[in-house]
């Protein structure tokens, strides 16, 4: 008779016909989630908590699970291959079996647990928590982070002369005023200017080195 009582409860929950039929035949005797791992929060009621089937697709509505032979292994939707499961527990079990991410589903469970815990608190406790949150001191604002561009600028400006010269020659977009207060000589190229200021080279010294 336990199956008959389960069938009446499943009808009230608007469960699938296969679940009701399995209960009538004695394959489902209790309205409990029979997944290997039921994730319905105890704050809601755990394995025995179910919400009626609706168009909103509740995480805790009753669903049919193929067992002992899974559907992916050829199991049929028959009363003797049926167990009752929460919709969300059923989906997470399948995700684990096929290696699919279920991070979002776990987050849904966390939010459900927090909401159920909050709903079970006395109103005076909730009011106290709200007051505490509203009047809690504001945290000190964090100092503004230095921009990456400024940090990079400080880094290349502190390079030794030879390395700074190589960096400037490789980075054509850096203007003269960004690294020196000196000015170019008439008709002096950017490369010659950098070499003269940072490396002490002059056209005459370059010519002498070439001849030597």
Each residue's pLDDT tens digit, 14-46 = 999 999 999 999 999 999 999 999 999 999 999
Q: What is the pLDDT of residue 174?
A: 86
As a whole number, the mean pLDDT across the chain is: 83
Pick the more confident residue, 11 or 201. 11
Give the mean model confidence (pLDDT) for residues 62-66.
97
Question: What b/e string do you get for 16-27 counting C-beta neighbours within 10 Å, with b at 16 or more?
Answer: bebbbbbbbeeb
Q: Which structure tokens are listed for 136?
A: 């809690």
pLDDT of residue 135: 41
> Of the candidates 84, 88, 118, which has an alpha carbon nearest to the alpha carbon of residue 105?
88
Identify the H or E element spanning 82.
strand 82-86
Q: How far apart are CA 159 and CA 199, in angstroms?
A: 13
Average pLDDT of the segment spanning 161-184 = 86
88 or 179, higher pLDDT: 88
pLDDT of 76 higher than 90 = yes
| pTM confidence score | 0.55
φ/ψ of residue 117, rounded to 5: -65, -40
Q: Does an H or E element contain 209, and which?
A: helix 203-211
pLDDT band at 168 (very low <50, low <70, confident <90, very high): confident
Q: How far apart (Å, rounded) are the C-alpha atoms in residues 63 and 142? A: 49
User: Tell me, what's the pLDDT at 131?
Assistant: 38
| pLDDT above 60 (res 64) | yes
**What per-residue confidence (pLDDT) applies to 153?**
54
Q: What are phi and psi of 150, to 5 degrees?
A: -65, -40
DSSP state of 26: T
Question: What residues are paired with 84 via a beta bridge?
Answer: 64
Most confident of 55-59, 87-91, 117-121, 173-177: 87-91
CA distance 191 to 183: 13
d(CA 164, CA 114): 58
Q: How many helices (H) and strands (E) does the chain have?
A: 9, 2
- Nearest to 46, CA basis, from 36, 33, 58: 33
pLDDT tens digit string along 120-140?
Answer: 766 545 444 543 454 455 566
My answer on whether omega of the bond before 67 falls inside 30° of 0, hence cis, is no
């Amino acid at each position: 008779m336990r199956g008959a009582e389960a069938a009446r409860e499943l009808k009230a929950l608007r469960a699938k016909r296969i679940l009701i039929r399995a209960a009538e035949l004695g394959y489902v005797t209790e309205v409990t989630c029979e997944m290997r791992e039921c994730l319905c929060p105890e704050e809601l009621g755990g394995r025995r908590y179910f919400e009626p089937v609706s168009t909103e697709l509740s995480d805790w509505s009753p669903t049919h699970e193929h067992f002992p032979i899974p559907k992916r292994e050829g199991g049929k939707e028959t009363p003797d291959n049926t167990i009752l499961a929460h919709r969300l527990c059923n989906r997470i079990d399948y995700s684990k079996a096929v290696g699919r991410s279920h991070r979002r589903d776990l987050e849904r469970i966390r939010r459900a647990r927090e909401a159920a815990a909050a709903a079970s608190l006395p109103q005076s406790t909730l009011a106290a928590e709200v007051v505490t949150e509203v009047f809690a001191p504001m945290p000190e604002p964090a100092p503004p982070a230095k921009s990456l561009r400024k940090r990079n600028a400080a880094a290349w400006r502190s390079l030794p002369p030879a390395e700074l010269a190589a960096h400037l020659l490789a980075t054509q977009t850096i203007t003269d005023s960004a690294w020196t207060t000196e000015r170019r000589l008439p008709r002096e190229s950017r490369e010659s200017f950098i070499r003269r200021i940072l490396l002490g080279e002059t056209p005459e010294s370059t010519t002498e080195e070439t001849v030597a």
